[in-house]
Amino acid sequence: MIHLVLGGARSGKSRLALNRVLAAHEAGAGLPQSGEWPRYFVATATILDDEMNARIERHRQERDAGWTLAEVPLDLVGWLREHGQQPGVILVDCLTLWLNNQLYHFPDQDFPALFADLLDALRRSVADVWLVSNEVGLGIIPMGEITRRFVDEAGRLNQTLAAGADTVTLVVAGLPLALKG
């Protein structure tokens, strides 16, 4: 299953995604007993800020602490192909930073092909994948070609993944709006 959680800055999207993972998977959902299946927290940030570190630390300290942290700033497609081959759960936080890293390091690549590869890797994953992504297109776009490019690619990425996801949720002020599933 592919789950996409969209939201604005400081909308509570990451927390909502994590809570949903815990609720779904601790309820069973056809998985092995809690603690017996792998749980990956995939951080795409290259420099983890204090809030991200605090979030990961909270994960670690949870009662049922079996989360593995993976730092994957760029090769998310390859990582998913390798680690998605067995049941479990993968939480990617967040796609927007991954896109930003891709635009910075490989601005001239074929982005539609990249997004199609990502969706293909997600579809082949046996593990459930929860994707957190920013919605950035609902305001005025500040001047500048790079910003415009980022908004365009972020919109296309979210559309591509939303079309292929089993559930899509928009988070506003920490509350969910179901867009799909």
Residues that bind its own copies (CB under 8 A): 4, 6-12, 135-143, 147, 150-152, 154-156, 158-159, 161-163, 168, 170, 172-175, 177, 179-180
The answer to whether the annotation marks 147 as part of a ligand binding site is no
- Which of 3, 25, 59, 83 is catalytic? The answer is 59
What is the distance between the alpha carbons of residues 25 and 11, in angstroms, rounded to a whole number? 23
Helices 111-124 and 76-83 pack at an angle, to 10 degrees, of 10
The answer to whether the annotation marks 82 as part of a ligand binding site is no
The answer to whether the annotation marks 62 as part of a ligand binding site is yes
Nearer to its own copies among residue 12 and residue 66 (C-beta): 12
Residue 18 structure tokens: 């994590």
Sign of the four-CA dihedral 38, 128, 81, 40 = negative
**Please, what is the minimum distance in Å from the beta carbon of residue 33 to its own copies?**
31
The answer to whether the annotation marks 39 as part of a ligand binding site is no
**Please, what is the minimum distance in Å from the beta carbon of residue 157 to its own copies?**
9
Nearer to its own copies among residue 13 and residue 39 (C-beta): 13
Q: Give Cα separations from 166 to 72, 146, 169, 177 (angstroms).
A: 23, 31, 10, 15
Work out the number of other CB atoms within 10 angstroms of the CB of residue 124.
11
Is 83 a known active-site residue? no
Nearer to its own copies among residue 4 and residue 122 (C-beta): 4
Q: Give Cα separations from 158 to 6, 83, 99, 146 (angstroms).
A: 8, 22, 11, 18
Nearer to its own copies among residue 103 and residue 136 (C-beta): 136
**Please, what is the minimum distance in Å from the beta carbon of residue 38 to its own copies?**
28
**Please, what is the minimum distance in Å from the beta carbon of residue 95 to its own copies?**
11
Pairing of strands 175-180, 167-172: antiparallel
Name the maximum alpha-carbon separation found in the chain: 51
The residues carrying an active-site annotation are 59
The annotated binding site is made up of 7-14, 43-45, 60-63, 71, 93
The annotated binding site for GTP is made up of 7-14, 43-45, 60-63, 71, 93
